[in-house]
Structure 1
Amino acid sequence: MSNILKYCRVLALVPLLTLTGCGSGEPGEDDMRNAIQAQFDRANEATRAAGGGQQIVLSEFKKLSCAKVNGSTVFACTVTLRVDGPWLNNAGGTTELKFTRADSGWVVVE
């Protein structure tokens, strides 16, 4: 019976150890998408407050690579994205965006 308990304890630790590795290093694709979406949400809220109805939509997003900017907590990441909204007409392409970790999660750095 004690061997079963030891085995269960080890199995319970595996997900925690896996998550520990995720807490450091560069942002993941979902982290980056959420950071960009948060910026669009703020812009959309400002548009709604001003009486506008059309919204900016992140229709495609893919992380290609990230590299830490020397001596900082910023990561320069190459991404491909597509955005739709007023006057955008499904605009997009590959670009570099910078991200850093804040208390609320990853954010885009201007």
Structure 2
Amino acid sequence: MKNWWKKAVIYQVYPRSFKDSNDDGVGDINGITEQLDYLKKLGIDAIWLSPLYQSPMVDNGYDISDYYKIDPLFGKMSDFDELLEKAKNIGLRLIMDLVVNHTSNQHL
């Protein structure tokens, strides 16, 4: 659907504080996946994810050090793949926050 976002209801998730699935005190990808059905019931069309990328976390994850990796704080790439698959299966879109002018000085 062209320009679907113009009328979409988008729910922003800050992963670090959204849902902690393993009781380490930090929200994570699996916590988001666990809540997808709940989010769908809210009537949203898409989830806008704040950065999950590998980062030294000096700037709340916006200081990305590797755009190709998930920060271990939030899980693994396979966890993200599962999140993406489940979201797609229930009709939710994922929007990844990417602010390239915040790249970390530790970027590879």
TM-score range, shorter chain: under 0.3
Structure with larger RCO (C-alpha < 8 A, sep 6+) = 2
Higher strand share: 1
